[in-house]
Amino acid sequence: MTSVRTLGAALTGLILAGCGGSGPDPETGLMALTGATVIDGTGGPAFEDGVVLVRGDELACVGSAADCPVPDGTPRTDLTGHFITPGLVDAHVHFDQTGWLDGRPEALATDVYPYDETIQYLWDDPGRWHRAFLCSGITAVYDVGGAVWTVTDEQATDTDRPDRAHVRAAGPLITHVDYNAPFMVGMLADQPVFLPMQSEADIAEDIAFLQSIGAQAVKVWYLRPDPDDAERLDALLMAAGEAADAAGLPLLVHATDLREAKLALRAGAFMLVHSVGDQPVDQEFLDLLIANDTFYAPTLIVGGNWNEAVIAASEQNVSVIDDPNGCVDAALRDRISNIAAYEDFAGQLSAEDIAQRRADYMEEMDIMQANLLAVYEAGVRIVTSTDSGNPLTLHGAAINPEMEAMQAAGLPASAIIEMSTRAGADAMGMADRFGTLEAGKLADLIVLSSDPRADIANMRDLTHVMRAGFLLEQSDLQLYTAPVE
Ligand SMILES: [Zn+2]
């Protein structure tokens, strides 16, 4: 038997029940979390036996018991033995992708799962991913590219609801990639995911369009150009940077090779949305990152997950998913389990192909992890980012293996906590509202039963999520409960 509970239902229950008797004091509007070790995300020392006082949707006081005396009569939630951090921020997600092989324009098995039906299905319920994010302790996300609705549909982007994560969204991507490529087919006509980049006139039109729909960034998808055409396209990337700057929008660039990533930095990139993975970074690259104060979004796990999804289709094996907190909903689990839908792909990869794919990815991962450490040691601003929505990089759940891959690269857990909270809020331009636990900011936080400073894998031990002052037990946010044997 499975049970599915939505945050909407949980919030209704919460309001009716007054948070199990621990709703705010009716006179002062205050409630208190006491006894936990509070890691406020500012980089200062943690508060042992700390106090978090919440009034309405905001933090009223965060500190030691002496800093934040709890007025008599204030309802308390005793969290002794627990750890509190700001809510997590995933700085690279895609609302218009499912997390499986059906969710991209070049999807496999479109006879079973027609792509236009899948995108309509995604558009019909963006709240689905908000529920997955909150279930995983993620209270804010940066959607760095997608269909028009990802910026225009308020069900996706309305950030002032306690049952939603905060969102900043870039909308359709500007790219030089050929419009006849398989990527481009199957999109809804009035919902483009890609905009052309063949001339300066294209770019001007694209940016005017992005402004007209309310896009909050300009994302350029810049793949390694054909050497014969590189000079022309490189100049267009620079032009896109100038046009984004003139429009007052941050430039986000997908450029995974060192040459193109440097060019993106020269074009004024505010964020590189992936690691450099083709070769070790050099001092010139690090100097450009520092000079531009650019955010670096490593997305370490997405490539390996893609590989495993394709291998699963070829081998006709159902993928084992990493879902530490029951945040992958039953509908998505059903699609991942229905590997028979991909039977046309069975056996398309030989054992040698599969071994080669895995070896190539391990080699790329080694380069990306060494580059991440170099970027960290140079003092660059790094944001935790999963690229969720891509096959087997699951909205919400992917944040844990991503943080663990950052730790495996040699980054200290305490630094990863900051990259997963304050830095993400900074990248979203919303650090005045969330990202650290300080009086006056929104009460967005998570509670853990083990210390994330000791091992970032302890971020899996999520017991509560507070969004805008609503404290929920993680078990009430779960979208999937394993059947009882
Ligand atoms: Zn992406």
Per-residue pLDDT tens for 458-481? 999 999 999 999 999 999 999 987
Q: Are strands 271-272 and 251-254 parallel, antiparallel or unpaired?
A: parallel
CA of 66 to the centre of ligand 1 (A): 45
Q: Six-digit token pair at 51? A: 């106090």
Q: Are strands 470-473 and 462-467 parallel, antiparallel or unpaired?
A: antiparallel
- pLDDT number for residue 120: 85
- pLDDT number for residue 53: 98
CA distance 338 to 102: 11
Confidence of residue 183 (pLDDT cuts 50, 70, 90): low
- pLDDT number for residue 179: 64
CA of 470 to the centre of ligand 1 (A): 30
CA of 222 to the centre of ligand 1 (A): 12
CA of 60 to the centre of ligand 1 (A): 36
| pTM summary value | 0.94
Kindly state the average pLDDT of the residues 301-325. 96
- pLDDT number for residue 6: 44
18 pLDDT more than 50: no
159 pLDDT more than 80: no
39 pLDDT more than 80: yes
Q: List domains and CATH numbers for the chain.
A: 10-86+436-477 (2.30.40.10), 88-304+352-427 (3.20.20.140)
Per-residue pLDDT tens for 259-295? 999 999 999 999 999 999 999 999 999 999 999 999 9
Per-residue pLDDT tens for 85-100? 999 999 999 999 999 9
Given phi > 0 = left and psi -120 to 50 = alpha, else beta, which region is 201? alpha
Confidence of residue 193 (pLDDT cuts 50, 70, 90): confident
Confidence of residue 185 (pLDDT cuts 50, 70, 90): low
Q: Rounded mean pLDDT of the chain? A: 91
CA of 276 to the centre of ligand 1 (A): 14
Helix (H, G, I), strand (E, B), or coil: what is residue 325? coil
CA of 387 to the centre of ligand 1 (A): 5
CA of 146 to the centre of ligand 1 (A): 9
- pLDDT number for residue 7: 47
- pLDDT number for residue 103: 77
CA of 217 to the centre of ligand 1 (A): 14
Per-residue pLDDT tens for 389-405? 999 999 999 999 999 99
Percent of all residues in the chain with a pLDDT value above 90, rounded to a whole number: 82
Say which residues have a Cβ less than 8 Å from residue 455's Cβ, sequence separation at least 6.
Answer: 407, 413
CA of 125 to the centre of ligand 1 (A): 20
Q: Which of 160-169, 401-410, 439-448 is predicted with the least confidence, judged by mean pLDDT? A: 160-169
CA of 91 to the centre of ligand 1 (A): 10
Q: Across the strands, what pairs with 63?
A: 51
- pLDDT number for residue 121: 85
- pLDDT number for residue 23: 76
Kindly state the average pLDDT of the residues 140-157. 90
CA distance 79 to 98: 35
